């Protein structure tokens, strides 16, 4: 599975650690930047990751900024991306199981150990495919595409 990651300047260090972690786990990783802690505009990197998800260049995405909020907002503007802003492993699991999210956004304030746990929950949790979640997600995509 190929996983895409991006960050702004504030998320650069955590993103860099997660890139190494995922490669060590045997995942193919695409890093969409940024490549330093110099100030950048997070939407530039969010849109690169979002486009890669929609185009099938990566299966899932992980985005990191100061709070995770900005990345989540930007990624959810890319039609076909479902990005959940998460703060813990339970939310990582639920955004996949209930919302079929293909991307997560998180704060750079998350500890490295918690971030690793969140990422693995996200990657390893399948969509539940329960009728109520299928129905709810369809209502959202119908609105998006409507």
List, for residues 57-89, the tens digit of each pLDDT value: 999 999 999 999 999 999 999 999 999 999 999
| DSSP per-residue string spanning 79-102 | TT--EEE-SSHHHHHHHHHTT--S
Q: Is 65 a catalytic residue?
A: yes
Q: Is 98 a catalytic residue?
A: yes
With cut-offs at 50, 70 and 90, classify the pLDDT of residue 45: very high
Specify the 3-state DSSP secondary structure of 25. coil
What is the pLDDT, as a whole number, of residue 59? 98
Which one of 6, 9, 65, 95 is the catalytic residue?
65
Specify the 3-state DSSP secondary structure of 124. helix
Residue 146 has pLDDT above 90, yes or no: no
pTM above 0.85, yes or no: yes
Residue 96 has pLDDT above 90, yes or no: yes
């Amino acid at each position: 599975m190929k996983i895409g990651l991006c960050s702004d300047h504030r998320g650069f260090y955590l993103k860099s650690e997660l890139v190494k972690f995922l490669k060590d786990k045997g995942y193919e990783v695409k890093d969409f930047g940024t490549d330093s802690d110099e100030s950048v505009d997070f939407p530039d990197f969010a849109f690169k990751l979002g486009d890669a998800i929609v185009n099938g260049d990566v299966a899932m995405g992980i985005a990191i900024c100061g709070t995770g909020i900005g990345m989540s907002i930007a990624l959810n503007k890319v039609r076909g991306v479902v990005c959940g802003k998460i703060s813990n492993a339970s939310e990582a699991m639920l955004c996949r199981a209930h919302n079929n999210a293909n991307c997560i956004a998180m704060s750079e304030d998350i500890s490295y150990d918690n971030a690793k746990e969140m990422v693995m929950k996200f990657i390893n949790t399948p969509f539940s495919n329960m009728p109520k979640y299928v129905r709810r997600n369809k209502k959202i995509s119908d609105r998006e595409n409507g």
